[in-house]
């Protein structure tokens, strides 16, 4: 397993976000490929950690990982001692105060967020605890504690971070001037279109998935003036799937951006509907997006009939829900939403041109509501498939890095747990892991429900200390 610690960040600087710290990378590497260490800091690699200069960020990663292992086994941290060991082994593995401080920041966050993933079958235990009043109070207290942690750890975006969205020529492209993407995480458009001075901008932001960086692109329902930009986004970033999580509202505010049959032009693109289906919970358009190119030789030879050449085709599936009115906090049907997720994931496996490396566009009427539920569900599903456990807290924490408004803490956070329980209950293939999980728990702790109660008591005590 190869872990790259440099992701488009300048050398010798520690300006990459904490999402590139251990908590994020440990999810990417998985249980079986993590770096293993003994208490004496003897390093045994079953994966390789690299940075572009062979030092710097590699040392930060190793120091964080080693101290997390030490904390798990002894309850203590020793950053200085391990940093000294690293530097003695290879100079410049930690070569700046910023990197040393970064190690402490990541470890401090790990201590604060000591919320462990739960086994899949424990989703049922968690849901059943809402039935009894006493247990319900414990669960509500835990949810409140997690919500406060998420709010505390979500760093707000500054105007300078989102300079592109606040430029005069781009302000009219945003539905809400307070919801704009940070420049470092927005997908830049490349195809010249429209009359704006800045044709590279669209109100969209990249969000990481469980296994891949920038697996999703979050955007809002296009305005009349940004429909061309929407199709440019699909084409320029080779998006194989668009998931629209809002029923269409007033057409004056939420214009139709896709037709049902034939061809239509959107700026420099011709969009042809290959097939269109209506289902109970959704509609699906399979479209072919073609970019129109004009060449002088062709214009001269075809000046009489003004022919246009259609080249560079993209195939995309546009899925739009029918069970989530704009005014509703949660969908009318959880089963319907799961059908949407299944269709999108199924098409992703079958789409042409290496779909596993291409992003999925997830959109709603405002680019904030609902999309967190969908992306969070996909992150947790991938985690269930790979690691056979669920970690809603860290999934939400990761999503909110580039768009802090994702996931409403009152309704959507709890609904995400309910959605994952429904997914688990309706997919029997997960049951084969239940027996192994239960046997692993017997030797180390009592029944899962009793353990859950003890965990909730600890949450209540910890909540006072956090305050």
> Has residue 22 got a pLDDT over 80?
no
* One domain, residues 209 and 299: yes
Question: Last residue of a domain, which of 322, 348, 367?
Answer: 367
* One domain, residues 196 and 305: yes
- Into how many domains does the chain fold? 2
* One domain, residues 232 and 359: yes
How large a percentage of the chain has pLDDT more than 70? 77
Name the residue among 218, 209, 212, 156 with its Cα closest to residue 185: 218
The dihedral sign for the CA sequence 335, 337, 341, 347: positive
* One domain, residues 103 and 173: no
Spell out the long-range contacts of 43-50 with Cβ–Cβ below 8 A and sequence spacing 24 or more.
Answer: 46/1, 47/1, 47/2, 47/3, 48/1, 48/2, 48/3, 49/3, 49/5, 50/2, 50/3, 50/4, 50/5, 50/6
Model confidence pLDDT, tens digit, residues 62-93:
999 999 999 989 999 999 999 999 999 888 88
Does any domain span residue 149? no
* One domain, residues 233 and 313: yes
Residue 40: DSSP 8-state: T
Identify the pLDDT of residue 274.
96
Residue 53: DSSP 8-state: T
Identify the pLDDT of residue 30.
38
Phi, psi angle pair for 236, to nearest 5°: -65, -30
* One domain, residues 99 and 191: no
Question: Last residue of a domain, which of 75, 96, 112?
Answer: 112
Does any domain span residue 407? no
Question: Last residue of a domain, which of 367, 385, 411?
Answer: 367
Q: Provide the terminal-to-terminal Cα distance of the chain, rounded to the nearest Å.
A: 40
Identify the pLDDT of residue 462.
53
> Has residue 410 got a pLDDT over 90?
no
> Has residue 242 got a pLDDT over 90?
yes
Identify the pLDDT of residue 19.
45
128-145 burial, b at 16+ Cβ within 10 Å, e below that, comes to ebeeeeebeebbeebbeb
* One domain, residues 274 and 355: yes
Does any domain span residue 426? no
* One domain, residues 184 and 255: yes
> Has residue 305 got a pLDDT over 90?
no
> Has residue 444 got a pLDDT over 80?
no
Which pLDDT band, with edges at 50, 70 and 90, does 328 fall under?
very high
* One domain, residues 360 and 246: yes
> Has residue 312 got a pLDDT over 70?
yes
Which pLDDT band, with edges at 50, 70 and 90, does 299 fall under?
low
Contact at 8 Å (CB) between 316 and 239? yes
Average pLDDT (248-256) is 91
Structural domain of 43: 2-112
Q: Which residue has the tokens 């300048």?
A: 10
The Cα 315–Cα 317 span in angstroms is: 7
Which pLDDT band, with edges at 50, 70 and 90, does 301 fall under?
low
> Has residue 419 got a pLDDT over 80?
yes
Identify the pLDDT of residue 137.
86
Collapsing DSSP to helix, strand or coil, 276 comes out as: strand
> Has residue 251 got a pLDDT over 50?
yes
* One domain, residues 298 and 355: yes
Average pLDDT (190-206) is 93
Does any domain span residue 441? no
* One domain, residues 348 and 203: yes
Model confidence pLDDT, tens digit, residues 285-294:
999 999 987 6
* One domain, residues 179 and 56: no
Contact at 8 Å (CB) between 459 and 145? yes
Does any domain span residue 248? yes
Q: H or E element: which one contains 436?
A: helix 434-442
Identify the pLDDT of residue 354.
82
Does any domain span residue 390? no
Name the residue among 123, 72, 149 with its Cα closest to residue 384: 123
Give the least confident one: 17-21, 58-62, 127-131: 17-21
Average pLDDT (161-181) is 96
pTM score of the predicted model: 0.81
Higher pLDDT, 87 or 306: 87
Does any domain span residue 433? no
Does any domain span residue 117? no
């Amino acid at each position: 397993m190869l872990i790259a610690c440099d992701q488009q960040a300048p050398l010798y600087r520690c300006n990459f976000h904490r999402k590139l710290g251990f908590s994020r990378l440990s999810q990417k590497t998985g249980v079986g490929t993590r770096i293993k260490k003994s208490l004496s800091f003897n390093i045994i690699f079953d994966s390789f950690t690299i940075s572009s200069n062979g030092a710097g960020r590699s040392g930060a990663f190793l120091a964080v990982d080693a101290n997390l292992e030490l904390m798990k086994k002894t309850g203590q941290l020793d950053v200085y001692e391990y940093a000294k060991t690293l530097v003695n082994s290879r100079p410049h593995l930690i070569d700046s105060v910023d990197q040393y401080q970064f190690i402490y920041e990541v470890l401090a966050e790990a201590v604060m967020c000591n919320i462990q993933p739960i086994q899949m079958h424990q989703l049922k235990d968690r849901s059943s605890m809402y039935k009894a009043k006493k247990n319900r109070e414990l669960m509500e207290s835990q949810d409140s504690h997690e919500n406060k942690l998420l709010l505390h750890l979500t760093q707000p975006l500054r105007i300078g971070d989102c300079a592109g969205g606040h430029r005069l020529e781009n302000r009219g492209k945003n539905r809400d001037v307070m919801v704009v993407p940070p420049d470092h995480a927005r997908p830049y458009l490349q195809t010249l279109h429209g009359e704006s001075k800045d044709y590279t901008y669209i109100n969209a932001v990249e969000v990481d998935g469980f296994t891949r960086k920038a697996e999703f692109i979050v955007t809002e329902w296009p305005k009349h003036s940004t429909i061309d930009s929407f199709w440019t986004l699909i084409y320029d970033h080779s998006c194989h799937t668009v998931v629209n999580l809002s029923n269409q509202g007033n057409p004056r505010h939420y214009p139709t951006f896709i037709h049902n049959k034939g061809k239509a032009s959107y700026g420099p693109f011709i969009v042809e509907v290959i097939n269109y289906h209506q289902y109970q919970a959704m509609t699906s358009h399979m479209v072919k997006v073609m970019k129109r190119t004009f060449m002088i030789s062709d214009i001269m030879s075809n000046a009489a009939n003004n022919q246009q050449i259609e080249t560079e085709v993209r195939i995309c599936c546009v899925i739009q829900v029918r069970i989530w009115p704009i005014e509703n906090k949660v969908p009318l049907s959880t089963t319907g939403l799961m059908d949407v997720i299944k269709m999108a994931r199924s098409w992703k496996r079958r789409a042409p041109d290496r779909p596993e490396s291409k992003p999925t566009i997830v959109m709603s009427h405002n680019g904030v509501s609902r999309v967190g539920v969908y992306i969070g569900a996909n992150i947790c599903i991938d985690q269930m498939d790979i690691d056979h456990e669920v970690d809603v807290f860290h999934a939400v924490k990761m999503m909110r890095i580039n768009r802090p408004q994702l996931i409403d803490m009152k309704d959507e956070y709890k609904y995400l747990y309910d959605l994952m329980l429904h997914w688990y209950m309706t997919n029997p293939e997960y049951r084969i892991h239940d027996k192994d999980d239960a046997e692993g728990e017997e030797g180390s702790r009592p029944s899962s429900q009793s353990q859950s109660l003890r965990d909730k008591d600890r949450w209540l005590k910890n909540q006072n200390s956090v305050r």
